[in-house]
Chain A
Amino acid sequence: MVSQLPLHPCTGREAAAAKAAGAVPYAGGTDLMVRRAAARRTGQEPPLVFLDRVATFRGITALDGALRIGSLTTMAELCSHPATPGLLGAACATVGSPALRNAATIGGNICTASPAGDSLPALYALDAEVELCGVDTNRRLPIDRLIIAPGQTALKPDELLAAIIVSTDTADRFYYRKVSPRLANALAKVSLAVAATVHDQVLLEMRIAFGAVGPTVIRCSEIERQCRNRSLADLAQSARRLADLAAETIRPIDDLRSSAAYRRTVAGNLLETCLHSLCAPTT
């Protein structure tokens, strides 16, 4: 019975069993408590299982060439940790407000699977993987296989997000920009996260991810392909053409935060600005 389940499990396995039995995982609570305020009024409240004592979901650890970020790591911890990839830190610093970032976790941001979730474009651009913990299973997935649709993930009923794995030795330049009506407590209308590797004035590799312009984050693989192995000078020349291509690639929608036309125009402009900034000589 659900009522017999531990409220504060200490292992991923126990927590996964509680979820399988119908309890709702609670990480930082910042999405959950807003949603439950509505549920409370309708009297439908499945029990909570608090994840904060699951040690294996905590902390940031260096692996060989990669970083393992426990799903319970808060946005504030990520922003202040020296090992956090710059792109991810920049994105997480735009979430909500300072006090919200003290509670909000990266795992909660991912599992909410909002099209406007701010960590997601950065994680897509970093080719992040997620580590999932079930009662009897452990598996890894690329981030884009975890997020299926708005509010929907590939987590099985008994699975929890344990950690995020990002490679530490790929991209050496990044660009991040979130466009929102206000700097604090405002969701993105459009966001762009780009990770690039440059050697000898040649762009070797670039990964482009747009947020809030589709049901899930949009990677622009065709544009990435066109940019690869070109000199920075040449890329700067083609910035507008590539930006127009990006604007055609995405399929934004009209919603309460913005119109499709605005999102399309701004998305193109962001990529143009990004290309110019990545191609600018570093001092």
Chain B
Amino acid sequence: MNSHLISFQLNTMPVSVETTPDARLIDVLREHFRLTGTKEGCGEGECGACMILLDDRPTLSCLVAIGAIDGKRVITIEGLRETPGFAILAQAFNDAGAVQCGYCTPGMIMIAYALLRDQRDPDESSIRRAMAGNLCRCTGYAMIVEAIRLAATRRGQSW
């Protein structure tokens, strides 16, 4: 495919990139913008490591062609870092022992952020359903569920 100029909002910045429209969003984020917090696990939609927010909705960046986000808004884990919600989530993940190798963590935090934005106080089954597309090979999930419960109790009015 020929190159095109694709413009979108990335975290707080308007950006443009000249690329073939079928390039994967995950590759553009990691290789062009050097935002390497977004991880590639499976590359086929199965693991959730590549989770970003596209127009505020959790989306798998390995399955998105860059042409599809022209005019839209992408938030990566680097963008989330600037929010008060992130600080609470990071502390909760830390306190619950929810991070081991850490590869799944950016995706888990993305999902947790969106879940707590949409539901003030999700119960365990809502948390597990929200996480259904995020794989973790280390923790056995219980600590991640616990971390999200903890963040829900500490969130105050942060997001």
| Partner-B contacts on A (CB < 8 A) | 3, 7-8, 26, 29-30, 32-34, 36-37, 45, 47-48, 50, 52, 76, 96-100, 102-103, 183-185
Question: Closest CB-CB distance, A77 to chain B, in whole Å?
Answer: 10
CB < 8 Å neighbour of A48 from B1, B51, B111 = B1
Contact indicator A98/B44 (Cβ below 8 Å) = no
How many angstroms between the C-alpha atoms of A3 and B1 in the bound complex? Answer: 8
Whether A7 touches B59, Cβ cut-off 8 Å, given contacts A33-B64, A185-B45, is no
Interface CB pairs A-B, < 8 A, 10: A7-B21, A33-B24, A34-B45, A48-B22, A48-B67, A50-B65, A52-B68, A99-B59, A99-B60, A185-B132
Nearest residue (CB) in B for A46 is B1
CB < 8 Å neighbour of B48 from A29, A76, A99 = A99
Contact indicator B65/A184 (Cβ below 8 Å) = no
Nearest residue (CB) in B for A51 is B68
Q: Is the interface of A mostly helix, strand, loop or mixed?
A: mixed
How many angstroms between the C-alpha atoms of A184 and B24 in the bound complex? Answer: 23
The residue in B24, B63, B67 that gathers the most chain A C-beta atoms within 10 A of its C-beta is B63
Nearest residue (CB) in A for B51 is A99
A-B contact count (CB 8 A): 89
Contact indicator B63/A7 (Cβ below 8 Å) = no
Question: Closest CB-CB distance, A74 to chain B, in whole Å?
Answer: 9
Find residues 58-99 in chain B having any chain A CB closer than 8 Å to their own CB. 58-60, 62-65, 67-68, 70
How many angstroms between the C-alpha atoms of A52 and B69 in the bound complex? Answer: 10
Contact indicator A100/B133 (Cβ below 8 Å) = yes
Question: Closest CB-CB distance, B81 to chain A, in whole Å?
Answer: 20
Contact indicator B63/A29 (Cβ below 8 Å) = yes
Q: B130: CB under 8 A from chain A?
A: yes
Chain B residues, CB < 8 A from A103: 54, 59-60, 63-64
Contact indicator B2/A3 (Cβ below 8 Å) = yes
Q: B154: CB under 8 A from chain A?
A: no
Chain B residues, CB < 8 A from A45: 1, 22
